[in-house]
Amino acid sequence: MSGTGDVGTGEARAASVRSLLLVWSALLALAVLSWLAWREGLWERASEGALAIATAKAGLVAAYFMRLRTEGRSLRLLLLLLAAIVALLFGLTMLDVAWR
């Protein structure tokens, strides 16, 4: 069988443990912030804020834990295409729902 596909140069892509722990702290802080805002009833008046915080958390996970920051251009382009497809899917469907 040909190469297993594993490389010895993972160190080049590896984020430091310290930076990963910092991201984890930020994620926990954002989660607590979201919960506190819920407890104060903030999301009853501005539910978009909860989704904005969720998007920030998702971005941190994608960028640092999933290493999208260091992935190649082809993958990032594919991700952009996926985002466009999902946006189109959501946009057209919600437009249809709104017009019914």
Partner 1 sequence: MSRARPMSSSTEAGGAPWAADAPEAVHERQTFGMWLFLFSEVLFFSGLFLLYLAYRSRHPDGFRAGAAGMQVALGTANTLVLLTGSAAAAVAVADLEGGRTGRSALLQAATALLGLVFLGVKALEWRADILAGFYPGAAAMAGRSHGEQLFCSLYFMMTGVHGLHVLAGTALFGASLRRTLAGRVRPGHGIFLENTGLFWHLVDVVWIYLWPLLYLVR
Residues that bind partner 1 (CB under 8 A): 1-11, 13-17, 20-21, 23-24, 27-28, 31, 34-35, 37-38, 43-44, 47, 50-51, 53-54, 57-58, 61-62, 64-66, 71-72, 74-75, 78-79, 82, 85-86, 89-90, 93-94, 97-98
Cα torsion angle, 75, 78, 80, 85, sign: negative
The nearest distance, CB 89 to partner 1, in angstroms, is 6
Token pair for residue 70?
């260091």
The nearest distance, CB 30 to partner 1, in angstroms, is 9
Q: Is 3 left (phi over 0), alpha (psi -120 to 50) or beta?
A: beta
The nearest distance, CB 38 to partner 1, in angstroms, is 4
The nearest distance, CB 17 to partner 1, in angstroms, is 5
Cβ proximity of 53 and 34 under 8 Å? yes
Q: Rounded to whole angstroms, how far apart are CA atoms 31 and 11? A: 30
Which of 3, 15, 27 lies closest to 71, judged by CA? 15
